[in-house]
Amino acid sequence: MTCIPSPTQSPSKAKHQPYSWLTEDLRMNASAQFVAITLDISLGIQTCLSLIHASDLAREQRDDAAPPPLNVADTESLTRMAMAAARMLSERAQGHIDVLNDMHGSAENGKRKV
């Protein structure tokens, strides 16, 4: 029988904790967050490209004993996903660069006024 907690019982803590590359003190740092997401995305792109390459190579070899890991449609889907991930990462990087340039430009302009 399932035990449903009553309003007086405190809910139990979740056993799964989200994973982060960052230590607790860096999790709110924007630069560290960008580096962590860059790592995640680049590893994902690497995995996609590895699967795409293995599938293309297997199709070229035409060995029935070693079929491609992905069919043509799945290979195309992963290619598009890798492209979208790379585009998203470059857009985020451009946003960070714009902020850094604005901050640096503001600091330089402040120095010139003195």
68 phi, psi to nearest 5 deg: -60, 145
Task: Please give the model's pTM, rounded to 2 decimal places.
Answer: 0.72
- Give the pLDDT score at 104: 87
User: Please, which pLDDT band fits residue 73 given cuts at 50, 70 and 90?
Assistant: very high
State both tokens at 46. Answer: 């690497």
Domain boundaries, the chain: 28-109
DSSP 3-state helix, strand, coil percentages of the chain (rounded to 5)?
70, 0, 30
For range 75-89, the mean pLDDT:
97
Q: Where are the alpha helices (DSSP H) in the chain?
A: 30-61, 72-113
Over residues 14-61, the pLDDT tens digits come to 787 778 889 999 999 988 999 999 999 999 999 999 999 999 999 999
- Give the pLDDT score at 105: 83
